[in-house]
Structure 1
Amino acid sequence: MLLSKHLSKLLFFVLSLFSLDAWATHYRAADVTYELIAPFTYRVTIRTIAEDNAADRDTVRISWGDGTPEEVLARTNGPIVNGFHKGEFIGFGFKRNLYIGTHTFPGVPPPPLNYYVISFYDPARRNGITNINNGTSDQIPIYVEDTLRFPADIASLGYNNSPVFQQDPIAYGNVNQLLVHSQNPWDSDGDSLTFELVTPLQFSDIPVPNWQNPQNIPTPNDPSNQFKIDKFTGEIIWNVPKQVGLYNVGILVREYRRGILLGTLLRDFHIVIDNKPNRPPEISLLNDTCVRAGDLLQVHVTASDPDAGQLVTLRADGGPFLDAPNSLATFTAQPPGNPTSGSFSWQPDCNQVRNQPYTVVFTAQDNFAQGGNQLPLSDDETWLIDVVAPPVQNPAANVAGNTVTISWQNPYFCASSKNFRGFSVWRKIGSNPFVPTYCETGLDGKGYTRLNSTLLNSYSYFDNDIVRGQDYCYRILAHFSHLSPNGIFEYDKVESVPSVEICVNVPLDIPVITNVSVNNTDSLTGSNFVAWSKPRVGANQLDTLQSPPPYSFEIYQGTGFVFSGANLIHTYTANSYFALNDTTFTHNNLNTKTTANSYKIVFKSNGDSLGSTAIASSVFLTAEPLDKSVHLTWQENVPWTNDSFAVFKQNKATLVFDSIGVSFNHEYVDTGLINDSTYCYYVKSFGHYSVSSLKFPLINLSQETCATPQDTVAPCTPVLSVDNDCEKFSQKPWNTNDFVNHLHLKFDSLPDCDNDATHYNIFFAENGTDFVKIDSTTDTLYNHTQQENISGCYYVTAVDRLGNQSVPSNIVCIDNCVYYQLPNVFTPNGDGSNDLYKPFMPYRFVNKIELSIFNRWGEKVFETTNPDILWDGSDFKTGKPLNDGIYLYGGYYYETQRGKELKKPLPPNKKGGGYIHLFRAK
């Protein structure tokens, strides 16, 4: 159905070219936009720009793109004459025509397209367009479209409105003067837009002939003639036009939501370049800005004209003036003057917080006239405004036991916004007292960690994961987004300005573990040194009256980083706080060689537990042998912060461990080593707690471990090329029974591989995807022979003596070089020569055909699927010999490529067909 639809459109396009005079409208520009008014129902607007006195049309046709008939839309704007609207005059002798219609689509279109193309076509545009068809443009149609896409699951993304443009698709300028024009796009859904300069179309996918970029007229590659469009704002800048003329460009607008392409819109844009004694006005430069929701933004704008006597009119347009029912902006302009000015004022509300900036376009226009005709020039200034969410106010934090309670002001200023989603709480060990700039949002890169994965709808949060010895600092963010119709997916996500930072000091009323250090490395007789600090007494610390002696420290040990199989290994007891001085322990006779060990200390008062330290493990070092190097990595689970690690290696001569480097992460590579020689290492960590009264630095050792470097570097990857006899028999019969592909290998020396390959593995996939190893060879030339076929794909790997295998080479795919050609003459006269119609022999790699032969009246006289054909020149229905003459054929042949049967049109016509001269005379 789609194919027939396309063909019918093409037929309409071709036929329309024969009736241009009757239809001539001489449109200058056009665009199409749509607005959602109900599920699958849209209001569509066609806008055209035409000369005010040109041939015109009260109605136009629109194609909805869903298979329904084209619909006639009436013009809806301008004064009414004889019962029809006549369009609106916009100056320069031009008028704007609007044609509006409503259409309900049948639903989501079937895959794989998932879109409808709404389009407008007219068979004639204005003649004399300089950069189309060398100026002969009156017989070149104008075509614009807007793609209405539906995601496979529309509930996850939602319906869409296309962007609209507050500026008509026409601009005016003078030669040798800068032209700046803002299209002033507005997307009511807040979707992301991009803009691209493209060739205008005369029909779907058919570009206008001989189009040139305006910057190439009159001279290509002129650095003083640059025509550009801003990818993100759509602003057109021509610096500077060199030739008087009329120009048209295509502007392709893409619309994205959650990174998914939702629609594409094609505008046909017209530019008039003149050479009048007039210069455009200039607007004072404005820097893009931002404003917090609820705050008042006010800006004073001025404009002037370099030509004395000109009067300048200043106006403003853009999203802030359109975003009803939300807060709307105002612009109060002074009367025309030189200079003139105006005041912009906007106090956006919380519903206007979004990821994309709002666009305001200030337009200054002079009043130049010549010969009684108004021929003003203008200047556009595009101004972007980000609306951000204000910070959460009055955060507070209080610590009680093992919990910090964070709270903030209720209600939040923007809590009533339809796009408000909740709060997140962020924590940092130690303070980062930065003050966010007025519109600085989020906390990325500030050292904070988000605590709650699910957004909060309450005004408090309990942090139960705290450790004595650390100071904790918190900030809160508010989150906003749009929701998909099913309420599951968020898009256009934004975060507020961060709250001020609030910090707490956790009381040191229980021990703080400070050391777990390996003294001796052994699987049976290893030992660890464990240390901790005793509790502090005083205000908000340990109360010895409420928690009287005797006091005890119970030391528990578990295996690994997660404290598995924990056991009580020792207890210290003291009859008074001042006697509680045993804060170290050496744990002997355990495995420190193959596993880390973890510890915690439980503090008791008179037999009752007051709490315990956090779990702390030893540093466990792993050594991975590489080629002439050892890759060291380590990990630990400790409550303090490790800042750096010193790496030690054993000296083979003195057996003493020497420091060889420092790492600020958890790895180190020791290079320049000798393969097959053993090297031993340990790591020393240096850490701290954020509370300054605790011991500093915290130094702990890993176990010792050894590794033996060896050759682990794979050989260099081969570069594969494949050839065969296809070139030899190109466009010729395949006069050979050799079905051989010749594989050639070569190598490029690279720094991360070795040229030490001993053999090569050959992989083959008949279908191009399912590769299997078919052979190994020590030669760089390999011949692969198949039966009646040469198609398939190859790659090769190189292998060294230790079995290190390179990454696969490039994949090379070979297709069967099909030869199937049909003659255009045959003579079925019984003389034994050329009595049967058949292809030129021998053909190759064709399994079957679909051939039909017709007489000049379109009647089928023969059909076959046999690739040999063997037609004797008779009618297959009656068996009677056919008369001399020209017969047409059409159809397809089937070839096998990479295990698949492909359908191709019969030569010589690209669509599959040709003609046959039948002669019977001897």
Structure 2
Amino acid sequence: MAKTIHFFFLLLAMLTTLSVQATHNRAGEITYVVDPSDFLSITATITTYTKASSVPADRDSLEICWGYSINDTPVCEWVLRSNGSIIGGIGSGVVLPGDIKINTYTATRKYPGPGHYVISMTDPNRNGGILNVNPPNSDNIPFHIQTTASILNPAFQGFNNSPVLLQPPVDIACIGELFIHNPNAYDPDGDSLSYELTTPLQAVNTPVPMYSSPSQFPVSPSNAISINHVTGDILWETPQTAGEYNIAMYIITWRDGVALDTLIRDMQVLVQDCDNKPPIIETIDEICVIAGEVIDFEVIATDPDAGQKVRLTALGGPFIVNPSPAEFLPNDNSYQNPPVIRHFRWQTTCEHISDQFYSVVFKAVDNFLGDSTGLATLKTVTIKVVGPPPEEVQGVADMDVINVTWAKPYDCEVVEDDYFKGFSVWRKLGSNQFPLDTCDPGLAGKGYTRIANKVLEVDNGRYIFVDTDVERGRSYCYRILGNFAKTSLSGFNFNAVESLASKEVCVQLSRDIPLITNVSVRNTDATNGSIFVQWSKPDPEDLDTILNPGPYTYELWRAEGFTNTGFTLVPGASFTVNNFYEAVDTNFVDTLLNTLDNPYTYRIAFYVNGETDPIDFTNNASSTFLNIASTDQTNILTWDLDVPWDNYRYTIYRRDNANPTQYDSIGISNTEEYTDKEGLVNGVEYCYFVKGYGSYNIEGVLPIL
């Protein structure tokens, strides 16, 4: 018993001694990957950056907590270091230049079910002497890092892995010189990432006490720290006071607009009073290419301080993708006399297509502090790989349909993991000859409407889409996109990507029947309402008058409401001429209607050669029906209509009892709604009408009013 007690006190003394020593943690984060054979099992890796020379405080194991409890007891476990030389089953870590050791601790855990879990690690002590954390006793504040992991059901949402941070946070800063850091995050699932500065933590979701931004030492216009929310670049312009500082950043993972994970990198920045300027990197800022092209650009590193050598390196997602990773040539990371010139080269493939930019961080470091390290500068280059545009798009009118075809094979129709999902067809009335931009693929904001998706039909060796929803006389313009997406185990798509748009093809359909060009309510009344209807004759170049001789008859048909059925011939609205060139009425005022309660829909029947069956009917066109909802000193106007042309603007008119015959324009709207609150008085009756402006976008047809 005495020996057992002696051992217990000895072990307790050892643990107590360990807990009060500073860890010299410079930085850390937690990442994880999901087991594809068991989506509830993940492997988490704690990565820390410590002071290599601090042997007494070296950690050969750390405790990881998995973010859930069993019987109210948090599930945690001790994890051995796994990187570096293995001695006695324990990794010794990897020493980097500048007295830095990188340590990794890896463990696997199966979760009880899908959900959000906070994986965390807490080391009892930070470095002493950190200026902006609980000064002057930062060593009493725990060093805590955490990652919120979203365990998804892969059948519906796909697998979710955390981003990996490829840029070690090991660089020093000099007073008066710009300091740059970028975590160089890469998401293997193709999710988008955003970045935010945050307060470091001492426990789960618990900020450290008495934290101040490094820009407060001292407060000065020349001392500011910021983060680029898109690229992750942290800029400190410029450090003013020597010492150690703590900063932390959130890296947030997004999928289809929903935030999934939040990873925290906690890091220290050592600012020294040094007479040295950082190297300078010269290269491009951004490049966007079509999959299959080779990216090859030059990167030059120089140093403003004479006599110093420079080492130029690169890290980023393109170097770890599979297949066809990038290269940085020549393959020499040693210090060299400036200028140091290397080439980034990447043979892109269809597997690299992504809606997100890849980041490559180039780092140039001088040897100001010796042969192994010095002051560094970072340069982030963003790269986008887009899907190729479908080629040889053709359009042919065939009676009342349009056949749109394009070349097969498509350059990226065969991709690993069934990444290619087919084509989408986009249509626009009239042309838009915008210049293609490889950095901005797709057709958003270009005026086109997607009318078909997942098109893969083939006819005569070409992809084909048959557009049946067309109207005679109109000019339709088409573009095709290749579509890509990752797929869940049950076939649901996520992280969809659109290719560069194809060239445009336009098809003009024959206008061999009339077009309704105006349906306007002339009088609003329950029994004596009236509507003015106007139409245009067929285009004489499209109507073959030899095959379709006179006499020619135009009939106006009407139905109550917004409908495609129940039409009756409007009394007195039939007009006949023997020859096409003869003048004929092309408008009519329909009377004795209940326009107070109902809209009406019209169409024209067109007859040739005295036949009893029309060649065809025009497309339906309705009157505009105005609705008003009143609240306190406000009238909310909405209106409904169903017309074959495109209305692009509405003007709203109003009158009141003070001026019962005078309507004044009060506003303009581009949509079918308007809120009137200008000078309204409760209890006063106001009357409104709305005038719409539109167009068929057909040459020779006047704008609609």
| Bin of the TM-score, shorter chain as denominator length | 0.7 to 0.9
Kindly report which structure 2 residues correspond to 1:270-309, keeping only aligned pairs within 5 A, or say none.
270-284=268-282, 286-309=284-307
Name 1:514's counterpart in structure 2: 517
Matches within 5 A, 1:43-442: 43-55=43-55, 57=58, 59-65=60-66, 70-78=77-85, 85-101=91-107, 103-108=108-113, 114-134=115-135, 136=137, 140-151=141-152, 153=153, 155-205=155-205, 210-217=210-217, 219=218, 221-284=219-282, 286-325=284-323, 327-332=325-330, 336-369=336-369, 374-417=372-415, 418-442=418-442
Shift in Å, 1:123: 4.1
Write out per-residue CA displacement over residues 680-738 of structure 1, whole angstroms, 9 at most, x where no aligned residue: 665555554323323x3555xxxxxxxxxxxxxxxxxxxxxxxxxxxxxxxxxxxxxxx
Aligned mates of 2:139, 2:688 — CA distance in 1 = 83
CA distance in 2, matches of 1:174, 1:424: 53
Rounded Cα–Cα distance in structure 1 between residues aligned with 2:244 and 2:681: 75
List aligned pairs for 1:826-841, cutoff 5 A: none
User: Cα 1:17–1:475, aligned 2, differ >3 Å: closer, same or farther?
Assistant: same
CA offset at residue 589 of structure 1? 4.0
The question of whether the paired residues in 2 share the 8 Å contact of 1:199 and 1:207 is answered with yes
Distance 1:82 1:462, change over 3 A: closer
Secondary structure at the aligned position of 1:320 is classed as: helix
Structure 1 residue aligned with 2:502, among 499, 503, 511? 499
Within 2, Cα distance between the matches of 1:496 and 1:268?
Answer: 38
CA deviations on 1:98-120 (whole Å, 9 max, x unpaired) are 3334x2414316xxxx3444333
Structure 2 vs 1, CA of residues 279 and 582 (structure 1 numbering), >3 Å: closer, same or farther? closer
1:577 and 1:278 map into 2 onto residues whose CA distance is 89
Match of 2:460 in 1: none
Moved more, 674-683 or 418-427: 674-683
Q: Alpha-carbon deviations, 1:734-763, whole Å to 9, x = none? A: xxxxxxxxxxxxxxxxxxxxxxxxxxxxxx
1:312-355: CA deviations, max 9, x gaps? 12111101111123553444367722121211122322222223
Decide whether aligned partners of structure 1 residues 515 and 48 sit closer, same or farther in structure 2, where only a CA change above 3 A counts.
closer
Deviation of the 1:272 alpha carbon: 2.5
- 1:797-840 Cα offsets, whole Å, 9 max, x none, are xxxxxxxxxxxxxxxxxxxxxxxxxxxxxxxxxxxxxxxxxxxx
Please say if residues 22 and 128 of structure 2, whose CA atoms lie closer than 8 Å, have aligned partners that are also in contact.
no
Give the Cα–Cα distance (whole angstroms) in 1 for the partners of residues 659 and 187 of structure 2.
74
Residue deviations 1:427-476, cap 9 Å, x none?
22222222233322233332222223x44233332322323343222222
Amino acid at match of 1:324: N
Q: Which runs of 5+ in 1 are unaligned?
A: 1-13, 700-922
Q: Which residue of 1 is the match for residue 466 of structure 2? A: 462
The SS at the match of 1:34 is: strand
Q: Residue 212 and residue 344 in structure 1: after superposition, are their counterparts in 2 closer, same or farther (change >3 A)?
A: same
For residue 675 of structure 1, report the CA deviation from its aligned partner.
6.8
Can you list the C-alpha shifts for 1:363-402, whole angstroms capped at 9, x where unaligned?
A: 11112345xx744221111122222223222222222222
Q: Which amino acid aligns with 1:498?
A: A
Q: 1:515 to 1:98 in 2, by over 3 A?
A: closer
Partner of 2:3: none
Contact 2:650 2:690 survives alignment (8 Å):
yes
Q: Does 1:638 align with 2:627?
A: no
Matched, 1:616 2:621: yes
Distance between the aligned counterparts of 1:624 and 1:116, measured in 2? 48
Stretch of structure 1 that moved more, 343-352 or 254-263: 254-263
8 Å Cα contact 2:63/2:79 also seen in 1 = yes
Check whether the contact 2:285–2:380 (CA below 8 A) recurs between aligned residues. Answer: no
Q: What is the aligned counterpart of 1:690 among 687, 694, 697?
A: 697
Distance of aligned partners of 1:688 and 1:68 in 2 relative to their CA distance in 1, 3 Å threshold: closer
CA RMSD of aligned residues (A): 3.7
Counterpart in 1 of 2:5?
none
Whether contact under 8 Å (1:533, 1:583) holds in the other structure is: yes
Alpha-carbon distance change, 688 to 134 in structure 1, aligned in 2, over 3 angstroms: closer
Tell me, in whole angstroms, the C-alpha distance in 1 between the residues paired with 2:593 and 2:488.
58
Per-residue Cα deviation, 1:637-657 (whole angstroms, up to 9, x for no partner)? 332344656667789899866
Confirm whether residue 596 of structure 1 aligns to residue 599 of structure 2.
yes
The aligned residue for residue 707 of structure 1 is: none
Q: CA deviation at 1:578?
A: 5.1
Tell me the TM-score normalised to structure 2 length: 0.83
Task: Supply the distance in 2 between the matched residues of 1:401 and 1:447 (Cα, whole angstroms).
Answer: 26
Aligned residues: 670
Q: Matches of 1:133 and 1:660 in 2, distance apart? A: 64
Q: Aligned to 1:555, what secondary structure does the other structure show? A: strand
C-alpha spacing 1:298/1:544, structure 2 compared with 1 (3 Å) = same
Q: Which has the higher contact order (CA 8 A, sep 6+)?
A: 2
1:203 shift after superposition? 4.5
Tell me: CA distance 1:403–1:176, structure 2 relative to 1, closer, same or farther (3 Å): same
TM-superposed CA distance for 1:88, in Å, is 2.4
Determine if contact 1:436/1:497 at 8 Å carries over to the other structure.
Answer: yes
Is the 1:29–1:169 contact (alpha carbons within 8 Å) kept by the matching residues of 2? yes
Cα distance change on mapping 1:512 and 1:19 into 2, 3 Å = same
Q: Secondary structure at the match of 1:170?
A: coil
Q: 1:676 to 1:42 in 2, by over 3 A?
A: closer
Distance 1:512 1:132, change over 3 A: closer
Give, as a single letter, the amino acid of the residue that structure 2 aligns with 1:534: K
Q: CA deviation at 1:676?
A: 6.0
Q: 1:381 to 1:663 in 2, by over 3 A?
A: closer
Name whichever of 581-590 and 627-636 sits farther off: 627-636
- Counterparts of 1:392 and 1:241 in 2: how far apart (Å)? 51
Give the 3-state SS of the residue equivalent to 1:609 in structure 2: coil
Q: How far 1:523 moved relative to its partner?
A: 4.0
TM-superposed deviation, 1:564 = 4.6
Q: Residue type matched to 2:506 in 1?
A: C
Q: Please tell me whether the aligned partners of residues 58 and 86 of structure 1 are also in contact (alpha carbons under 8 angstroms).
A: no
Q: Is the 8 A contact 1:563 1:599 kept in 2?
A: no
Structure 1 residue identity aligned to 2:465: Y
- Normalising by structure 1, report the TM-score: 0.65
CA distance in 1, matches of 2:490, 2:134: 50
Instruction: State the Cα distance separating 1:53 from its structure 2 match.
Output: 3.4
Report how far residue 310 of structure 1 moved.
0.9
Check the 8 A contact 2:652/2:690 in 1, yes or no: yes
Identity %: 37
Structure 1 residues 852-886: Cα deviation after superposition (integer angstroms, max 9, x where no partner): xxxxxxxxxxxxxxxxxxxxxxxxxxxxxxxxxxx
Contact 1:534 1:580 in 2 (8 A): no
Change (3 A) 1:679 1:135: closer
Contact 2:83 2:94 in 1 (8 A): no
- The answer to whether 1:533 aligns with 2:536 is yes
Residue pair 2:657, 2:684 contacting (<8 A) in 1 also: no
Say whether the 8 Å CA contact 2:422–2:484 is kept in structure 1.
Answer: yes
Q: CA deviation at 1:404?
A: 1.9
Distance change (3 Å), C-alpha of 1:461 and 1:52: same
- Partners of 1:212 and 1:648 lie apart in 2 by 58
CA distance in 1, matches of 2:652, 2:102: 76
AA aligned opposite 2:63: I
Mapped partners of 1:131, 1:599: distance in 2: 75
The Cα of 1:282 is off from its aligned counterpart by 1.4
Tell me the distance in 2 between the aligned counterparts of 1:561 and 1:293: 48
